[in-house]
Amino acid sequence: MSGIKQSMADAGTSSSAFRLKKTVVMVGMMGAGKTAVGRAVAARLGVPFLDSDAEIEAAANASVPEIFERDGETFFRKRETEVITRLLKSERGILSTGGGAFLAEQNRKVISQQGVSVWLNADIELLWSRVRHKETRPLLRTADPKATLTALYAQRVPMYEKADLMVPCAATLSIEGMATRVIEALLGRQDVLEQTID
């Protein structure tokens, strides 16, 4: 791993250092860092960063919580599948998805066919520390949000375990540190990412 880290450090943010062959889809719980880490990975690899929630919000001219409240979760999930399918076919890059996206079999199927899934695996205490003060999580608008998060975690982890790659999260790691972990995991898959310099 040290050789990889050294060459990554030497390469800096030069996109010529890597060649991405498939879109990398970041999956995992709310608060796992899919957007922040995804952006950092995209910058390091010199590829576009895509966000399915942001695309849905732009198309609906409303925030995710507003869509949930106005149209319901079923409507949102349908739009989510449409957006993920379109983004996977449109350009190669790093795609961040909402926490519930990977639960749908149709989404897992299209991600498997068109890209590679990376599960950012964070434990419940780390997730809670990150989302407890956020007002943008519609599923946590309950009387006991931590209990809701814990129940969601228990329900979703078996689905996240179906991801192609798992990268453990740590509270002590910076966003850049997590990005390095993700890139190292991707470099283990020659069909996904390769270094193009020595």
- CATH number of 143's domain: 3.40.50.300
Nearest of 26, 27, 25, 30 to residue 126 by alpha carbon: 30
Residue 132: pLDDT band by 50, 70, 90 thresholds? confident
Percent of residues, the chain, with pLDDT higher than 90: 68
Boundaries of domain holding 43: 25-189
Q: d(Cα 25, Cα 28) in Å, to the nearest integer?
A: 10
> Could you tell me which of 56, 45, 52 has the C-alpha nearest to residue 11?
45
Report the distance separating Cα 75 and Cα 186, nearest Å: 33
Of 8-22, 128-142, 175-189, where does mean pLDDT reach its minimum?
8-22
pLDDT for position 65: 84
Q: Give the pLDDT of residue 177.
A: 96
- Cβ(167)–Cβ(185) under 8 Å? yes
pTM of the model: 0.86
User: Please, which pLDDT band fits residue 1 given cuts at 50, 70 and 90?
Assistant: very low
Query: 61: Cβ–Cβ under 8 A, 6 or more apart, which residues?
Result: none
Q: Confirm whether 60 is domain-assigned.
A: yes
Residue 195 lies in a domain: no
The whole-number pLDDT of residue 141 equals: 76
13 pLDDT above the threshold of 60: no
177/179 Cα distance (integer angstroms)? 5
